[in-house]
Structure 1
Amino acid sequence: CNAVDFDDLILLVLELFNTDKEVLETCRKNHRYIMVDEYQDTNGKQFQLLKALASEHQNVCVVGDDDQSIYGWRGAEIANLLHLEDHFPGIRVIKLEQNYRSNNTILKAANAVIRHNPLRKDKTLWSSKGEGPLIQLMVFETEEAEAQAVAEGIEVQRLSKRIPWNHQAILFRTNLQARPLETALRQSKIAYRLVGSQSYFDRREVKDILAFLKVLINPDDDISLLRIANVPARGLSAKTMQTLLQLSQDRNTSVWSVMHHSDLDTHLRAAASKSSRGFVSLIEDQRRFLKEENKMGLAHWARSFLDHIGYFTELKHSEKDPKIAENRMQSAQELVSSIDSLTASMGSVKGEDRLNQFLEEIALDQDRLDEKDKQGEGVTLITMHSCKGLEYPHVHIVGLEQGLLPHTRSIDEGSLDEERRLFYVAITRAMESLTISHCETRNKFGQTTPCQPSVFLNELPDELVELADDVFKRPVSPSSGAAMFDALKSSLDLSDA
C-alpha cells in the first residue's frame, strides 16, 4: 500500500545504508552536523542511524538527562546516554546543573532520591531561588479520603492565598487513580482538566451504569434507555430498538411507553416482543424496590442488580486484552462503591430519592466543569509519564504506595531504577510547593486491599519533609484568616450589609 510507519522510516534507511554505501556517503556529506534532543529517550535503531551518519565526522551534539529516562517500556535505551563517551570518544560533556524552575527544597529531595540509582551520570541540581517550604506528607486510610483532602487543600489555597486552580497539578502513576480525584474535585466544585487520557466519567462502562440508574429513576429518558436496553444482550437488537423509536416518534411519546403498549406484538416479532416485555418487567421490579428501600446501601443494591443482569460478566468478556477488561471492571466497581460515599449525608432518605440526588449532582457538576473548561480554568490531573517537560507552581503527588510507585510490574521485572526516575521527574515538576501522600488501603475490584508505603519515601531526607497533620494543627495567622474570609465573601458575592 506504499505506506510506512515511523519505525519503518528508520529501519528502511538503515537497510539502504547497509546495501548502498554510495547513498550512505552522500547522506554523511549532507548531514555534517547532527543535533539530538531528549537523547535519553532514543532507542537502539535511532542510535544505529546516528552512528551511521556521524561515525566519520563525529560532529554530534546531544542533549539529555539520564535521570529522566522513563520510557524503557516503549524501547528507549538509557545506555545510549550512559555510554556516550564510549560511542563518541573525545566528546565534551557539559553539565547543566542549575535549575531555573524549582526551589532548593524540591531539588534537594529530587537529588536525594535519584542518588539511589547506581547507574547514572553524577550531577546535583541547584537553584538560585533559595529554599522553599518543606514537602508536605499526608497519610490517609482510603483513596477517597486522600482525594478529598487534596481537593480541600487546593480550595483552601485558592481562598487563603489566592492561588488559582490552574497553578495546581495532581500527579499519579496510573490512569485508574484519576477516578476518586475526579469525584472529589467535582464534589468540591473545583474545575479540572484530565491530560492524556479519557475522563473517568467518559468511560463506556461508567456511562452504561449511569444510564441504567437514570432509567430506573426516569424510564422515559429515551437517550439512556436506548443506550442500555440491550446491555448485556437480551434480544433487543438495533433493528428492534429502531422500530420502537419510530413508533414513539409517530405517537409523540417515549420509547418506554411504547414498550408498555398492548399492540407491541403487531409491530415486533414474537421473540423481540418477549424480550421487550422482559426488560420492562426487570426495570419495574427494581423501581418498586427503590421506592420502598431505605435501609440497604445503594452501592450494595447497585452491585447486586448489575450482577443479576450479567453486566459484570459481559465486561469481563468484552475485551480481547485481559488488562483492558480488568481496567473496565475496576472502573465499574469503583463507580458503584462511590454511590454510598456520595449519598452518605442523606440519612434515612429512601433509595429512589438518594439515587436521584446522586444523578443530579453528577449532571450539575458536569455543567459546571464544561463552563470552567471554556474559560480555560482548572486543576491539572496528569500521569507521571505525561507530565515530563511540564511545570506547575504547586504539585500534589498521590498514591505513593508499593504496587503503584514503584509499580508491581517494575518490581517483578527488576526495573526499579526507572520507577525511581519517574518519581524524580514527578518531584521536579513542582516550582514552589510539593505535597505527597499515600493510603493505608485502596479499593481494588470492589475489595478493600491493604497498602504499604512506597520504598521511595524512605529515600527522602527527614529534614525536608513535614507530616501534614502538624501543619493542620497550627492556628491560621490573622492576615491569612482575613484574606480567606475576604475571598470567601467574594466567592459568595456577599455585601457588607
Structure 2
Amino acid sequence: MTDIPVLLQGLDEEQRRAAMALRGPLVILAGAGTGKTRTITHRIAYGVASGAYSAQRVMALTFTDRAAGELRVRLRQLGASGVSARTFHSAALSQLSFFWPQVVGGTAPSLLTGKGRNLGQAAEQLHLPVDAESLRDVASEIEWRKVNMLSPAQYERALVTRAKPSGLSQQQLLELMDCYERLKDERRQIDFEDVLMLTLGMFENEPRVALQVREQYRHFVVDEYQDVSPLQHALLSAWVGDRRDLCVVGDASQTIYSFAGASSEYLLQFGVTYPDSTVVRLEQNYRSQAPIVSTANSLMKNQRGALRLRPATEQQQGGAVPTVSVAADDQSEAENVANAIAVQIESGVSARDIAVLFRLNVQSFLLETALARRGISYQVRGAGRFFERTVVKQAVHAIRAAALVAVSEPLFQTVSDVLRSLGWTQEPPTEAGAVRERWDALSALMALVDEAPQNTTLRAFSDDLLERQNTQHEPVLDAVTLATIHTAKGLEWEYVYVPGVSEGLLPISYAETPEAVEEERRLLYVAITRARTGLALSWAKRGARDRSRSPSRFLSDLNLE
C-alpha cells in the first residue's frame, strides 16, 4: 500500500478508484451499505489535500439537513472544513438572498415554512369545504407541478391521467392552487419550490449572477442523485455550466420519491449525457450480514439499474436468516414486535440499535402503545425536532455559556456537570413518559462527548453543538426508533422489524400502475437494507374494521420460509 495516498488507505479498491478520479464527470453507482458517504468525503478531502481542489470552491449537495450535517462533520475530520456541504434548497436560498438586492432591489420575499395556512385561507376565500388531509394533498400537487417545471396550463393537461385530491373537482383544485399563488404574491412570500425556481431564473436571465457563482464553485458533488427532480437537475446544470467537474452518487434501487417528482433517469443516463464519464460501481456491502444481503438481492433481481450486493468481510458471512411471521390482527402484530424487542433488550441489546419501520404513519400508534406498556423507550422519527425540545435548548445554552469561561477540566467532566445541573443522572429513571424522554435527550448530548475526537476542547464541542442545532443534525437517542420507511432512508440499525408487509400496505393500496408497484418494491428494499444483524418481517391477517388481508406479493420473491 506504499503507492496509495495515506488518506485513502482505508478504502477498498473501487472506493479508492472513485476517490482518485478528481477531474471530469464521475458517476458512482453505490449500493446500500457500500460506503458511499465515506467514499465521497475522502474523495473531496483527497482533492483538497493534493491541491487539486480549493476547499472553498467545492459544493457538495444532498437532500436533507441531517445528511448535509454529516458531510460537514466528516469533511472537517478529514481536514476539508472549508467545503460547502448543503441541501439544494439551502444553497439556492443563500444565493437568492445574496443576489436579490442586486438584481431586483430590496430584500428577498419571506420564506413560507409550510403551505397549509395559505391554502386554508385560500379555501376560505373560495368557500371550499376542504379538510386538512385534502389540503395536504393539494400542497403535494403544488410541489409536484413546480418540481416538474410545469406551467398551470401544462399541469391542467397532466390532470387527465393524474389522480386528484379527494373532495375537489378539477376546476376547484385549479382555482385553489391559483388563489394560493395570489395570496403568496400579495404577501411577498415564497415557498421552497419557488426558491429553486427563482434562483434558476436569476441564472438564466442575469449572466453576471451565473458568472459569479460559477467562479466561486468549480467542483460539484451530488449525493442521492437518484432523487433529483427535473427542477433540481435544471438548477444543478445552471450551477455547473460548461464545466465538467461533476461527481454524482446514487442507487436506482433506492428511488422512493418518484411520487414527489424524483427521477432515477438522470443517474441511469449520466453516461449518455457525459459519454467520457468515469463509472465506478460500489457493490461490496459493509453493513449487513450475508442472509440480509441475499434477501435484498432476491427482492431486486432483474430490476432495472439494480446493483448486485455482496458481503465485504468474512465477519458478515454468518448471521441469522431473516424471518417472516404472521399475526391474527394488527394489535397482535404490534404486541409480537414489542415482545421480541423486550427480549432483545433484556439480553443486552441497546434500544438505540433497534428500529421498527412501516409504510404509513398511522401504523405507529399500536406499536407505541405496545412498547410503552413494556416500559421500552422509543422515539418516533419525524414527530418533533430534537433541538427544539426545551431541555435540549437549555442544555446547549448552558454548555455554550460554560465554554465562555476558561475551563481546565476534561470535556467529559464539564459537560456532565452541566447536564447534571439540569437533572441528568448516569442511571436512567424508573419513571416512563416525560421524565424518561427528558433523560433520553440529555443522555444523547452526553453521548456526543464520547463520539468527539480526542482532545476536543469545550469551545470546539460547543461550536459543534451549535452547528448541529442550526442544521438539525440530531444525535442518536438510546431508544427504539419508530419510523416510516421514507424517513429511515440513509440510516441503519443492528435489528430491524418491518410490520405490515401485506397487500394494501406494502404495496400500498393506491399503487395501481406497474411503476407505482415497483416503487413500493424499492421501499421494501430500503427497509431490508437498513438492517445489519437481524431482520424480521411480519403481516397481519386482519386489519381495521376486521378486513382480511393477504401477504405482500413481494414476500414470494425473498426466498424465505
Same fold (TM over 0.5): yes
Matches for 1:216-231 after TM superposition, within 5 Å: none
Structure 2: how far apart are the matches of 1:386 and 1:126? 25
Partner of 1:14: 200
| Matched residue type, 1:120 | G
8 Å CA contact 2:311–2:317 kept in 1: the answer is no
Structure 1: how far apart are the matches of 2:198 and 2:434? 50
- Measure how far apart 1:441 and its partner are: 0.6
Matches for 1:341-490 after TM superposition, within 5 Å: 366=433, 370=437, 373=440, 376-411=477-512, 414-443=515-544, 447-461=545-559, 465-466=560-561
Partner of 1:470: none
Deviations 1:72-130 (A, max 9, x none): 2222121111111122221111111112211111111111112243x325443433122
8 Å CA contact 2:285–2:309 kept in 1: the answer is no
- Deviation >6 Å, runs of 4+: none
| Matched residue type, 1:425 | V
Correspondence 1:110 to 2:217: no
| Matched residue type, 1:130 | Q
> 304, 311, 318: which is aligned to 1:131?
318
Partner of 2:253: 67
SS in 1 for 2:277: coil
Correspondence 1:142 to 2:329: yes
Structure 2: how far apart are the matches of 1:171 and 1:122? 23
Q: Could you say if the C-alpha distance between residues 22 and 162 of structure 1 is closer, same or farther in structure 2, counting changes exceeding 3 Å? A: closer
Structure 2: how far apart are the matches of 1:369 and 1:144? 25
Deviations 1:274-316 (A, max 9, x none): xxxxxxxxxxxxxxxxxxxxxxxxxxxxxxxxxxxxxxxxxxx
- Structure 1: runs of 5+ lacking an equivalent: 200-363, 467-497
Structure 2: how far apart are the matches of 1:54 and 1:85? 17
Q: Could you say if the C-alpha distance between residues 102 and 60 of structure 1 is closer, same or farther in structure 2, counting changes exceeding 3 Å? A: same
8 Å CA contact 1:99–1:126 kept in 2: the answer is yes
Percent identity (aligned): 35
- Structure with the bigger RCO (C-alpha within 8 Å, sep 6+) is 1
TM-score in terms of structure 2 length: 0.49
Aligned length: 294
Structure 2: how far apart are the matches of 1:433 and 1:95? 26
Q: Could you say if the C-alpha distance between residues 166 and 413 of structure 1 is closer, same or farther in structure 2, counting changes exceeding 3 Å? A: same
Q: Could you say if the C-alpha distance between residues 43 and 371 of structure 1 is closer, same or farther in structure 2, counting changes exceeding 3 Å? A: closer
Correspondence 1:84 to 2:282: no
Structure 1: how far apart are the matches of 2:478 and 2:242? 52
Partner of 1:2: 109
| Matched residue type, 1:379 | V
TM-score in terms of structure 1 length: 0.55
Structure 1: how far apart are the matches of 2:367 and 2:510? 23
SS in 2 for 1:76: coil
Bigger proportion of residues as helix: 1
8 Å CA contact 2:300–2:306 kept in 1: the answer is no
Q: Could you say if the C-alpha distance between residues 79 and 366 of structure 1 is closer, same or farther in structure 2, counting changes exceeding 3 Å? A: same
8 Å CA contact 2:375–2:432 kept in 1: the answer is yes
> 212, 219, 230: which is aligned to 1:33?
219
Deviations 1:310-342 (A, max 9, x none): xxxxxxxxxxxxxxxxxxxxxxxxxxxxxxxxx
| Matched residue type, 1:63 | V
| Matched residue type, 1:84 | F
8 Å CA contact 2:283–2:307 kept in 1: the answer is no
| Matched residue type, 1:44 | P
| Matched residue type, 2:501 | L
8 Å CA contact 1:165–1:378 kept in 2: the answer is yes
Partner of 2:154: none
Q: Could you say if the C-alpha distance between residues 368 and 15 of structure 1 is closer, same or farther in structure 2, counting changes exceeding 3 Å? A: closer
- Structure 2: runs of 5+ lacking an equivalent: 1-107, 111-189, 386-430, 444-476
8 Å CA contact 1:104–1:127 kept in 2: the answer is no
Structure 2: how far apart are the matches of 1:427 and 1:154? 17
Q: Could you say if the C-alpha distance between residues 372 and 55 of structure 1 is closer, same or farther in structure 2, counting changes exceeding 3 Å? A: closer
Deviations 1:428-481 (A, max 9, x none): 1111111110011111xxx111011111101102xxx34xxxxxxxxxxxxxxx
Structure 2: how far apart are the matches of 1:371 and 1:19? 51
Structure 2: how far apart are the matches of 1:138 and 1:365? 30
Correspondence 1:163 to 2:349: yes
Structure 1: how far apart are the matches of 2:326 and 2:264? 34
Structure 1: how far apart are the matches of 2:542 and 2:384? 25
SS in 1 for 2:534: strand
Correspondence 1:153 to 2:340: yes
Structure 2: how far apart are the matches of 1:122 and 1:98? 10
Structure 2: how far apart are the matches of 1:379 and 1:13? 40
> 222, 229, 250: which is aligned to 1:43?
229
RMSD: 2.4
| Matched residue type, 2:324 | L
Matches for 1:228-239 after TM superposition, within 5 Å: none
SS in 2 for 1:138: strand
Structure 1: how far apart are the matches of 2:375 and 2:218? 57
| Matched residue type, 1:149 | N
8 Å CA contact 1:102–1:127 kept in 2: the answer is no
- Measure how far apart 1:63 and its partner are: 1.3
Deviations 1:376-417 (A, max 9, x none): 532111110111111111111100011111111223584112
SS in 2 for 1:189: coil
Partner of 1:229: none
- Measure how far apart 1:11 and its partner are: 1.5
Q: Could you say if the C-alpha distance between residues 37 and 387 of structure 1 is closer, same or farther in structure 2, counting changes exceeding 3 Å? A: same
Partner of 2:371: 185
Q: Could you say if the C-alpha distance between residues 32 and 365 of structure 1 is closer, same or farther in structure 2, counting changes exceeding 3 Å? A: closer
8 Å CA contact 1:192–1:369 kept in 2: the answer is no
Structure 2: how far apart are the matches of 1:127 and 1:177? 35
Deviations 1:356-388 (A, max 9, x none): xxxxxxxx8636754764555321111101111
